[in-house]
Amino acid sequence: MAARRRSLKELAGDPQFISGVYNYCDRWCERCPLTLRCRVYATEPQEDVLDPASRDITNRAFWERLGEIFREAHEVLDEMLRERGIELAPLDPEAEQELARWHADAWSHPCAVAAGEYRGAAGAWFEQAGPRFQERGEELERLDRMGLPGADPEGDACRLQDATEVIQWYQHQIAVKIMRAVGSARRDGEIDLGLGYNDADGSAKVALIGIDRSLAAWSEMLRQLPDDEDRILPLLAALSRLRRDVEVTFPSARTFIRPGFDTGDVAGA
């Protein structure tokens, strides 16, 4: 039976909760390292039986591992793309200015359009990836039976599953967060909400985090499915371009401070 949901009134004065931590998260509660500190999470009935503290520690380790993959992949990604003739052409000044001011319509903003195209391309890849996943699974089973020194088939299977979950979680959310950022940029320019922070930058930062994590996950996918390089590299290139364009459009997004995640309450978030 689900645990009893606590009301916001009950939780309002509890000092364990971080104010506003839920405003700029990715809504992936099952992977969040701050559920113990989130007032909104505490109001929801919980079906799982895991100890929240243990889960938060496990999730913290999960994102730290993914962060390590991203740091390593970031160092070689540009070189890989260049070797395959996939160039991330630099923005000319006029295009950069256009990106920076194009906030009138979130749906037609170039970053939102590019995010939507990536979402469709990623979905198409997974629709066709069944046989490749099956082949990789059979290969990992053979490696496990052989017991070769230095091989880690069980770990690779877990990493492949993690990469799949990360890509599919952020596949749709990146576009949603970009559209919110674009819409907020227009609204913030017209109305003083008195929030004391820029909602557009906060939303753009969540989108950038989703892009970073997806890049890391696709890099792991490429490592394990090297025969699919011709299909995966264009997705990596599309995400790399999108990351650059979002950073140009929202130059302060990376420095936006998210409550809890960017204030020393959690590592690797």
Per-residue confidence (pLDDT) for residue 93, from 0 to 100: 65
Range 61-90 average pLDDT: 67
The residue among 238, 264, 224, 261 whose CA lies nearest residue 31 is: 261
Query: How much of the chain, in percent, has pLDDT values that exceed 70?
Result: 66
Residue 34 placed within a domain: no
Residue 71 has pLDDT above 70, yes or no: no
pLDDT at residue 4 tops 50: no
Q: Is the confidence at residue 138, as pLDDT, over 50?
A: yes
Average pLDDT over residues 18-26: 83
CA–CA separation, 25 and 211 (whole Å): 14
Kindly tell me if the per-residue pLDDT of 48 is higher than 50.
Answer: yes
Q: How much is the average pLDDT of 161-171?
A: 94
What is the full DSSP assignment across 192-231?
A: ----SS-HHHHHHHHHHHHHHHHHHHHHHHHHH-GGGHHH
Higher pLDDT, 142 or 104: 142
Q: Residue 2's pLDDT band (boundaries 50, 70, 90)?
A: very low
Residue pointed to by tokens 């939102």: 112
| Res 87: pLDDT | 64
pLDDT higher than threshold 50 for residue 268: no
The reply to whether 261 falls in a domain is no
Kindly state the tokens that stand for 222: 């490429």
Whether 56 maps to a domain, the answer reads no
Cα–Cα distance for residue pair 155/88, rounded to 1 Å? 33
For residue 228, tell me if it sits in a domain.
yes
The verdict on residue 268 lying in a domain is no
237 Rama class: left (phi>0) / alpha (psi -120 to 50) / beta: alpha
Comparing 125 with 260, which gets the higher pLDDT?
125
Is 47 within a domain?
Answer: no
pTM of the complete model: 0.77
Check residue 183 and give its pLDDT. 82
Rounded CA-CA distance 43/262 in Å is: 23
Would you state the pLDDT for residue 1? 36
pLDDT for position 27: 82
Tell me which of 150 and 74 has the higher pLDDT.
Answer: 150
Quote the number of domains for the chain.
Answer: 1
Q: Is residue 246 part of a domain?
A: yes
pLDDT digits (tens, 9 = 90+) for 196-239: 458 889 999 999 999 999 999 999 999 999 999 999 999 999 99
CB-count exposure of residue 101 (10 Å: 0-12, 13-18, 19+): exposed
**106-120 pLDDT, tens digit each:** 667 888 899 999 999
Alpha-helical segments (H) within the chain:
8-11, 39-43, 52-83, 93-101, 110-128, 130-146, 153-190, 199-224, 229-249
Residue 202 domain boundaries: 102-255
Q: Does residue 171 register a pLDDT over 80?
A: yes
Which has the minimum average pLDDT: 21-25, 87-91, 162-166?
Answer: 87-91
